[in-house]
Chain A
Amino acid sequence: SGSFLLVYLYIFLVVFVGIGLPIEASAPAYQSHGTEGSHLTNITNTKKAFPVLAVNYEHVRKPFEIALWILLALLMKLGFHLIPRLSAVVPESCLLIVVGLLVGGLIKVIGEEPPVLDSQLFFLCLLPPIILDAGYFLPIRPFTENVGTILVFAVIGTLWNAFFMGGLLYALCQIESVGLSGVDLLACLLFGSIVSAVDPVAVLAVFEEIHINELVHILVFGESLLNDAVTVVLYNLFEEFSKVGTVTVLDVFLGVVCFFVVSLGGVLVGAIYGFLAAFTSRFTSHTRVIEPLFVFLYSYMAYLSSEMFHLSGIMALIACGVVMRPYVEANISHKSYTTIKYFLKMWSSVSETLIFIFLGVSTVAGPHAWNWTFVITTVILCLVSRVLGVIGLTFIINKFRIVKLTKKDQFIVAYGGLRGAIAFSLGYLLSNSHQMRNLFLTAIITVIFFTVFVQGMTIRPLVELLAVKKKKESKPSINEEIHTEFLDHLLTGVEGVCGHYGHYHWKEKLNRFNKTYVKRWLIAGENFKEPELIAFYRKMELKQAIMMVESGQLPSVLPSTISMQNIQPRAIPRVSKKREEEIRRILRANLQNNKQKMRSRSYSRHTLFDADEEDNVSEVRLRKTKMEMERRMSHYLTVPANRESPRPGVRRVRFESGLSV
């Protein structure tokens, strides 16, 4: 009964918002004029009663509407997750589009013009958070291991899709019975290039819920990100030429050059801003509160700068996030890291929700021009070209891959090629001089609906049916980390023995370059010398300590009763009681020293977070190590007499392992 109540509540909200917005939009002009006017009139007019209550909607109109839309979007999202049966079957994106349709329909019924997804708003405000979120948290290892495959799918796959679809649609338009003989080849190719690109927003929205294995996920996702350069070039190329009407060989050649400029230029711009951000973060140790802002602003600047030069903004954002991440994370505090993570997730979530709702509303808004043959053929051709493209390319790629792509992988890659809002916005950007604009828009919307609804809804049961490998739920394990690094060195070594300059050789060279030159400049303090394994170990320790603080209990996090005693029992003779006492005293003094040092930091706005975090963590650490101390006494008794006591807290790591010596 609770969920029914919620359903009623939401219907009510939809109606309320749907009606409320346009009424406010067309509010009568009785609001007070600007203050200057009233100031003058006050002197000459007769004295009116002092207005106790007045309504001035124009004043707050724009922000009010924006806030209301966002609130609606979030309430919808909230609602879906409270109805478990629905969210298990239908992906969120579908539900949001339906809501958009409803709201749009309501607005139209009332007689108002429903707002359309403004392309400028979309490209400048709604898209960047999603891409930044994707780029910043891009899993680097699988991405770089498969970057060749991803590039082949993104570039050659998209080109194939565009030309195949454009060409066949042109052939279709030549048929008399369709009634579209006015459409020329360039217009069809333009349409093909808009509709052929796999959309990152839609892919993210759907794939996030199916938890597929890492390889397929990174293939589809990486492709959706990297095909932006191709889309930009093709779109601009065909848009330019469809005005002129002819294409020469020189133009094609320039187009190819343009592609390299757009993609590499975008990556370069992103990398430059990434290094700037990393360099800035080196100096933020005294102003921790604004650290996350640097990350966001530099990335957004990278996006805007590359859009300014007509380079690929998406690739710039990805490059910025990828380049900046390892260095920034070594420099910023734990709280800033959490802030960045949650803000990115929050913004991208809101953006995604808004995009899908607006898609629904824009569909109702129109304008539409429906032609059965054209639209149906477009949908079918989309599917066919995607499947053919994937199969053909995989056949070639598998000859060069060590780990081949199986048929199941290919199927998911082909089926997961969803189209989304980018295609719609690009179509909307077409100037009105294109006679076929409405037809194209209708076809694009139909394709988007088809891929999101049909493919989005059926992909989950298909994944279950085909028993495709799913993502493993893995906790960070120190053994796996050790062996990952061990394997890297082993494979580099064996490649050296074979005399091959392979994948691992170049990776090793890059790492060494990174360590000797780059890290020195971009990472604060002495941290740059720290190898990855140690950084991982410290992170794990920190996580464990925080978990203990949160759960409020002390006993070991591992569910077993195994302790160090089982691993290395006492095999050393006992030392005299006096010596034991002396050691205990020294160690206790050390712990006290550290405790005091942490507490004495002044309470101020700027160091608030730091002191808090360090305090809790160090508190737990001290308690934990105290417990270990009792149990591991035998280890400490091996300390030879002439060794000095460990120096207090120079580095957390030294302090901690000093106890285990």
Chain B
Amino acid sequence: MGALQSLPDEPEYRDLSEKTGFSFEQIGILHKRFKQLSHNEDTLRRDDLNTIPDLSCNPIRTQIIEAFFDKRNFHQNGEGTVQEISFEEFLVVMSHFRPPALDMTEEQREIIRREKLRFLFNMHDTDNDGTITLEEYRHVVEELLSRSGALGKETAKGIADAAMLEVASISMGHMEPDEFYEGITFEHFLKILKDIEIETRMNIRFLNMDTTNLCKVNRAYPDCTSLTKYTDKLLESCLWFGFGLL
């Protein structure tokens, strides 16, 4: 792992940086993580992500993992899913969670907002027909409440129905009794979520600093292996917590 601290490959990283907007250091750190997850191979599979312990108690784990293998999120106008992804595709999916820069114009922010909402839309629209049907929405709410047992399943239906009703009322306004509302299109989706300020909410922190290197000195003492692991984690979490507060 220490070898990767040498200078990153300049031309390759430059290309990726231009495409995704990450800095060289961030790409380096994410590359390290990619190698860690894929066990030093060049491609990542679903099982690699399934083994992450932090994801195990997440109610929407399957959808998150699927999002990484969804071709629609690779910005190449592809459709369908793949079985394994390269580092470039991994980075492109991650770039959906970058915050907008301070000096962006209103149009640029609008583009970023659409991109992030498109990502969310793709997560819901599993059959890729361009609309979120009632069944798909019900599935989303059920997954969210999946940890509440049987009670969750019944109310999920009620909640999803009420939500669909709300979308239909906001987007369509008036419908005859025998007309049928097919499903939430992307434009309707944008409309109902326009107040949520997604470009400021849907971000995670990509720091430029690799925090595990701060504990490099401890690695010199092989008999303290378990202790170093804990101090590493502790220091890292303290730093993240501190940054997270801000």
Partner of B57, one of A149, A512, A562: A512
Q: Which residues of chain A from 460 to 504 have a CB within 8 Å of any chain B CB?
A: 472, 474, 477-480, 482-487, 489-504
Say yes or no: A660 contacts B157, CB within 8 Å: yes
What is the distance, in angstroms, from A600's C-beta to the closest C-beta of chain B? Answer: 27
Partner of A502, one of B179, B181, B244: B244
What is the distance, in angstroms, from B56's C-beta to the closest C-beta of chain A? Answer: 9
Say yes or no: A403 contacts B200, CB within 8 Å: yes
Which residues of B sit under 8 angstroms from A531, Cβ to Cβ? 145, 147-148, 152
Interface: A49 (CB within 8 A): no
Q: Which residues of chain B from 160 to 179 have a CB within 8 Å of any chain A CB?
A: 161-169, 172-175, 177-179
Q: How many cross-chain pairs have Cβ atoms below 8 Å apart between A and B?
A: 207
What is the distance, in angstroms, from A444's C-beta to the closest C-beta of chain B? Answer: 33
Q: Name the prevailing secondary structure of the A interface residues.
A: helix
Interface: A377 (CB within 8 A): no
Q: Which residues of chain B from 161 to 208 have a CB within 8 Å of any chain A CB?
A: 161-169, 172-175, 177-181, 192-193, 195-196, 200-207
Closest to A144 in B: B245
Which residues of B sit under 8 angstroms from A482, Cβ to Cβ? 140-141, 144, 159, 163
Say yes or no: A496 contacts B54, CB within 8 Å: yes
Partner of B165, one of A148, A403, A567, A654: A567
Interface: A513 (CB within 8 A): no
Which residues of A sit under 8 angstroms from B123, Cβ to Cβ? 490
Which residues of B sit under 8 angstroms from A500, Cβ to Cβ? 204-205, 207, 240
Say yes or no: A497 contacts B168, CB within 8 Å: no
Which residues of A sit under 8 angstroms from B64, Cβ to Cβ? 490, 493-494, 497
Partner of B168, one of A486, A501, A566: A566
Interface: A46 (CB within 8 A): no
Segment from A66-74, A131-139, A203-211, A394-402 that makes contact with B: A394-402
What is the distance, in angstroms, from B137's C-beta to the closest C-beta of chain A? Answer: 9
Say yes or no: B193 contacts A561, CB within 8 Å: no
Say yes or no: A566 contacts B166, CB within 8 Å: no
Give Cα A499–Cα B90 distance, bound, in whole angstroms. Answer: 14
Closest to B160 in A: A482
Give Cα A114–Cα B246 distance, bound, in whole angstroms. Answer: 48
Say yes or no: A487 contacts B59, CB within 8 Å: no
Say yes or no: B162 contacts A661, CB within 8 Å: no
Give Cα A551–Cα B163 distance, bound, in whole angstroms. Answer: 24
Given A562-B168, A564-B165: A397 and B246 interface contact (C-beta under 8 Å): yes
In the complex, per-residue mask of A439-456: 1 if CB is within 8 Å of any chain B CB, else 0: 000000000000000000
Interface: B134 (CB within 8 A): yes
In the complex, per-residue mask of B220-235: 1 if CB is within 8 Å of any chain A CB, else 0: 0000000000000100
Closest to A399 in B: B246
In the complex, per-residue mask of B136-157: 1 if CB is within 8 Å of any chain A CB, else 0: 0000110011011001101101
What is the distance, in angstroms, from A286's C-beta to the closest C-beta of chain B? Answer: 26
Interface: A505 (CB within 8 A): yes
Say yes or no: B177 contacts A567, CB within 8 Å: no
Say yes or no: B175 contacts A562, CB within 8 Å: yes
Interface: B158 (CB within 8 A): yes
Q: How large is the interface on B (under 10, 10 to 19, 20 to 34, 35 or more residues)?
A: 35 or more
Given A480-B195, A533-B145, A569-B180: A400 and B99 interface contact (C-beta under 8 Å): no
Say yes or no: A483 contacts B120, CB within 8 Å: yes
Say yes or no: B33 contacts A498, CB within 8 Å: yes
Which residues of A sit under 8 angstroms from B246, Cβ to Cβ? 148-149, 152, 397, 400-401
Partner of B159, one of A490, A494, A537, A658: A537
Which residues of A sit under 8 angstroms from B125, Cβ to Cβ? none
Q: Which residues of chain A from 268 to 295 have a CB within 8 Å of any chain B CB?
A: none
Give Cα A491–Cα B237 distance, bound, in whole angstroms. Answer: 17
Given A400-B246, A558-B165: A487 and B201 interface contact (C-beta under 8 Å): yes
Interface: A656 (CB within 8 A): yes
Say yes or no: A657 contacts B154, CB within 8 Å: yes
Say yes or no: B159 contacts A562, CB within 8 Å: no
Given A498-B30, A506-B241, A562-B169: A478 and B157 interface contact (C-beta under 8 Å): no
Interface: A568 (CB within 8 A): yes
Interface: A623 (CB within 8 A): no
Which residues of B sit under 8 angstroms from A626, Cβ to Cβ? none
Which residues of A sit under 8 angstroms from B178, Cβ to Cβ? 569
Say yes or no: B169 contacts A400, CB within 8 Å: no
Say yes or no: A404 contacts B134, CB within 8 Å: no
Interface: B97 (CB within 8 A): yes
Partner of B52, one of A148, A496, A505, A533: A496
Give Cα A478–Cα B180 distance, bound, in whole angstroms. Answer: 22
Which residues of A sit under 8 angstroms from B154, Cβ to Cβ? 653-654, 657-658, 661
Say yes or no: A561 contacts B52, CB within 8 Å: no
Q: Which residues of chain A from 418 to 449 have a CB within 8 Å of any chain B CB?
A: none
Closest to A659 in B: B158
Q: Which residues of chain A from 556 to 584 have a CB within 8 Å of any chain B CB?
A: 558-569
Give Cα A534–Cα B151 distance, bound, in whole angstroms. Answer: 10
Say yes or no: A566 contacts B55, CB within 8 Å: no
Say yes or no: A483 contacts B152, CB within 8 Å: no
Q: Show 30 A/B contacts (Cβ-Cβ < 8 Å), sorted by A.
A: A151-B245, A397-B246, A402-B205, A406-B102, A479-B192, A482-B163, A484-B196, A486-B140, A486-B144, A490-B120, A493-B54, A494-B64, A496-B54, A496-B58, A499-B36, A501-B240, A502-B205, A503-B204, A503-B240, A503-B245, A512-B57, A534-B148, A558-B165, A562-B181, A566-B175, A566-B180, A567-B134, A653-B151, A658-B154, A661-B157
Q: Known contacts A492-B58, A500-B204, A537-B162; can you find 20 more A-B pairs with CB under 8 A? A: A149-B246, A398-B102, A477-B192, A486-B144, A490-B64, A490-B202, A494-B64, A496-B58, A497-B33, A502-B205, A502-B240, A512-B57, A560-B168, A560-B174, A560-B175, A566-B168, A568-B134, A569-B178, A657-B154, A660-B161
